[in-house]
Amino acid sequence: MLVSGSDQDDASGTRDLGQVYRSDTGSRRAVRGPGPREDQGEPAPGDDAPGAAAAGPAPDADGSGSPAGAAPGGRRVRHRSKRSFWRELPILIVIALLLAVVIKTFAVQAFWIPSGSMENTLEVNDRVLVNKIVYHLRDIHRGDIVVFNGDGSWDPGTIPVSGNVFEQFYDGFASMFGFGHPGDILIKRVIGIPGDHVACCDAQGRVTVNGVPLDEASYLYPGSAPSLAKFSVVVPQGRLWVMGDNRLVSADSRDHMGDPGGGTIPESAVVGRAFIIIWPPSRWRILPIPATFSQPQLGASGSAASTAASSAASAASQAALLSARLEPAGPALPLSLGFAAALPLTWLQRRVRIRVARRRARGRALRGGPDAAP
């Protein structure tokens, strides 16, 4: 079949226009061959299916017409990769360490019992948790088991004074790792609070507070008398009368009546209240206030009697008496609590950081689109 020159030109022009059309509309696709062959009605070798080039790239999930990972303007958006666990680990350790020091210094601290002066309530090698917050919320009560600093109370030295928050934090950090001087830490039960008249003994050999006898059978060491030493003391303001539960071997307020304060200790020396035994597991228990201290008559004011008191010879010699000096437990517990609190905090800050990064990436993608303002 003969084809005129004009027809040839038209056919050639059609192929040229088709090629240009595909190049203009599919600028991100390479045109790999001429237009469709008219004589065979099928694409040329290497070419895409008819209309594929003109259709342009398939829209992504949000219908923007851009390939996955590309901004509307054709530019690719680089998402910041998530930090690996090893990059997050130093942050976790720092947060856990700071929380551990805060918990130990201002909230809860563990101590272990080295002597038997508080038996059977506390036995040798028991570990107890001491609440340091409670006395910021309420007064010290009769029957509380308190941990206190003996420096300046019974032992020579000055009465400890809490510094500012930063000094306390530094002291807590140093003592957790074995630095600094933790003081002569002791543990006893509070028998008399400021204004109480504490005496021993009545006709039945019981300790009395404001004339009210105490039934101490629930916490005294089995077979231990309430006291072999006789005393009669009015507790001065700001001070406490404390005694051990194993009275035969406890060096407590009775044995320091010749010291300044008449055997009492300053309330400011109290570190906190022992409220639970945490070790060994067989000894887990709460340390409640015994019921005898709930007698309403105990609230009566102590008389203004003289603080002079006589003391009798004790069955155990002074050398055998135990003052239940405590040793702070190792840093394992505060560090464990610190890590337990740090894990959710680290996870939360990671989620917030990733979410903020994604929002910023979307914002940059939208600002770079073809319709964005210059």
Cβ contacts of residue 348 below 8 Å, gap of 6+? none
Nearest 5°: the CA angle 110, 193, 114 is 30
Terminal C-alpha separation, the chain:
58
Cβ contacts of residue 240 below 8 Å, gap of 6+? 140, 146, 190, 192, 193, 194, 264, 265, 266, 267, 270
- 10 Å CB burial of residue 233 (0-12, 13-18, 19+) is buried
* Token couple for 39: 């004589």
Residue 166 near residue 139, CB atoms below 8 Å: no
* Token couple for 223: 């077979």
310: annotated active-site residue? no
User: Measuring CA to CA, which residue among 139, 142, 138 is closest to residue 297?
Assistant: 142
Q: Which of 188, 227, 253, 323 is catalytic?
A: 188
224: annotated active-site residue? no
- Collapse the DSSP code of 70 into the 3-class scheme (helix H, G, I; strand E, B; otherwise coil) and give the result: strand
User: Measuring CA to CA, which residue among 125, 124, 131, 126 is closest to residue 284?
Assistant: 126
Q: Which of 66, 115, 117, 250 is catalytic?
A: 117
Residues with a known catalytic role: 117, 188
